[in-house]
Amino acid sequence: MERRDNYAITVQQAKKLFLEYDQSLLARKLGAKMDEDYFYTTFLSESWRIHRRTGDMSRRSGESWLDANSFNEVLTLLDLICDSRENRHASGAWKNMRDFGHGFHQNLLEGRDPLAEEFQAHPQAFARACQGLGGERYPLGDVAYSIPIFEDLRLLVQLWFGDEEFNAQLRFLWDENALMYLKYETMYYALPLVLNRIRERMAE
């Protein structure tokens, strides 16, 4: 019996739905550019493109385009492009990520966090990486940055240092109007993308 990869199937379904949209209307909604082959947008302060006939995605890195077809990348970006509201706008107020959804998601944001410990061990590199993603320092937590996600939608990443009594923690707040841009479930796809890009930039 052939094993089905549900993640790969979901990615292909999302791309198929994108291809069914009127891409000219999407470009008008987002103020995005298109050419004969690609639909262009900006995500995490970086240039991205989507092939207009296959839905395949890539991310600009220097003079090259890198493959960007992971589950989290495709589901996040296509949600922002296709399903963001016409009247979307940022409020400028923050809301804890868990408060957008249901209590059973809370365990995804609790407990010992090796990534928070890694960031605490290298706070200057963490700050530099956030700034490289367009982040602005925010006076909350031991180190916190407001990072642009898409258009004027921002995510606040807070790092709280641990000590002998408490674990290091990462906390995440979205703009209060985030659901005008993406679904609640999509926040959990976007979050690892942000954290992975921070780690990648820390290593540069």
Q: What is the pLDDT of residues 64-81, one digit of tens each?
A: 999 999 999 999 999 999
Residue 101: pLDDT over 90: no
* pLDDT score recorded for residue 44: 94
For residues 145 and 138, what is the distance between their CA atoms, to the nearest angstrom? 5
**Other Cβ atoms within 10 Å of 62 Cβ, number:** 6
**Average pLDDT rounded to a whole number, residues 105-117:** 70
Residue 165: pLDDT over 90: no
Residue 53: pLDDT over 70: yes
* pLDDT score recorded for residue 114: 93
CATH 3.40.1580 corresponds to the domain 94-203: no
**Average pLDDT rounded to a whole number, residues 109-121:** 84
For 89-119, b/e burial (b = at least 16 CB within 10 A) is ebeeebbebbeebeeeeeeebeeebeebeeb
Which part of the chain has CATH 3.30.310? 94-203
Residue 111: pLDDT over 70: no
Q: DSSP 3-state helix, strand, coil percentages of the chain (rounded to 5)?
A: 45, 25, 30
* pLDDT score recorded for residue 122: 95
Residue 108: pLDDT over 80: no
Is the model more confident about 111 or about 15? 15
In order of 23, 68, 182, the CA distances from 47 in angstroms are 18, 11, 19
For residues 111 and 50, what is the distance between their CA atoms, to the nearest angstrom? 37
* pLDDT score recorded for residue 20: 97
3 band by pLDDT with thresholds 50, 70 and 90: very low
Please state the φ and ψ torsions of residue 37, each to the nearest 5 degrees: -105, -30
Lowest mean pLDDT among 98-107, 121-130, 182-191: 98-107
Task: Share the mean pLDDT of the chain.
Answer: 92
